Amino acid sequence: MSDLVVPPGYDGLWSREMWVQNQVNLRTIRPFISAVELTVPSGPSTDLQSHENDAAKIYGRITIPVLAQNATFTEDNENWNALKTFAPTLEKFLCMASKVLREDLEKNYPTPQGRTRSDYKAALEICQRALPADRGGMPFSDEIRSVNCFSHIRISVNISMGNPWEKLKPDTDTGACGPWVVVVPWGQWGVSGDWLYGGRLVTPYYLNHGSYPGRSFQVRKEMYVHNTPFSPIPGSERYQFEFFMPHLPEHNGEAYEGTAEAEKQLSTQCPPMRNPGRF
């Protein structure tokens, strides 16, 4: 976009294109987040993120259904126009996350638990089913329906839930979802070109996964996770998009649940951001 002034070194991102893409996406994310009502998590985990400065004063979560309208997103409520405006950006995100997950699952887990198809193909089949006559559809194109394998998107805005650890799940009545979750953040939380002081995705055993705008990370739904808080300086903001597959009846998560519980027992406290004494 011609009015964007690209900083030297791209704020520490790996290319000019990535910096521009982040800024372009933020221009559509911010108005959508401002137009809808976010839900502030009420526990049992604690929000470890500071909300004292401008952008980070807006915080919470919202879950968007991908397949069918619900009480939060329906043609009859005020969220609908905001969603229709944001839909082209969401379609782009859905396409990217679906293709990344498809490539990994079909290459590395083509027959999970001895089944004849990948979890991606199982989820895709569910997502392409016709809706009942009494359910209204969402404002997404037929093109995205040909690749999309997700039933919900949750946007976690400027929060760092921890102590105790959390599992990722959509904020629906049941919280049910499929075995894999794709996480992609967008925003501005880097400090002097270093994006790793906060916003990292951490799993028990303190396995830190560096997080940059547009970088995808996939995690099993059974696993406990934590986002380290980002530095509370003016202008910092972080929008974490979490893509959830529909519930797959054939998936058996018992063994994965046991492993996740054992790992959590060895890492009872969520780690702080790196070098917290600096800020």
> Which pLDDT score is estimated for 1?
54
Residue 275 has pLDDT above 60, yes or no: no
The CA distance from 107 to 27, in Å, is 35
> Which pLDDT score is estimated for 206?
61
Mean pLDDT, range 254-279, rounded to an integer: 75
The CA distance from 28 to 35, in Å, is 11
Mean pLDDT, range 5-24, rounded to an integer: 91
**What would the pLDDT profile of 58-89 be if each residue is shown by its tens digit?**
999 999 999 999 999 999 999 999 999 999 99
| Complete DSSP assignment for 64-105 | EESSS--SSS-TTSTHHHHHHHHHHHHHHHHHHHHHHHHHHH
- As a whole number, the mean pLDDT across the chain is 91
**What would the pLDDT profile of 105-164 be if each residue is shown by its tens digit?**
999 999 999 999 999 999 999 999 999 999 999 999 999 999 999 999 999 999 999 888
> Which pLDDT score is estimated for 277?
42
Residue 279 has pLDDT above 70, yes or no: no
Domain ranges of the chain: 16-267
> Which pLDDT score is estimated for 276?
43
* CB < 8 Å & 24+ apart, contacts of 207-213: 208/271, 211/185, 212/13, 212/14, 212/18, 212/185, 213/13, 213/18, 213/21, 213/22, 213/25, 213/185, 213/186, 213/187, 213/188
> Which pLDDT score is estimated for 209?
76
pTM as predicted: 0.94
Amino acid in the structure at residue 177: C
User: Tokens 């303190």 identify what position?
Assistant: 206
The burial class, CB within 10 Å (0-12 / 13-18 / 19+), for 116 is exposed
> Which pLDDT score is estimated for 221?
96
Domain 16-267 has CATH 3.10.310: no
Amino acid in the structure at residue 266: L
**What would the pLDDT profile of 196-254 be if each residue is shown by its tens digit?**
778 888 888 767 777 899 999 999 999 999 888 988 888 899 999 999 999 999 999 99
* Integer-rounded Cα radius of gyration of the chain: 19
User: Tokens 């690209």 identify what position?
Assistant: 6
> Which pLDDT score is estimated for 210?
77
Mean pLDDT, range 81-101, rounded to an integer: 98
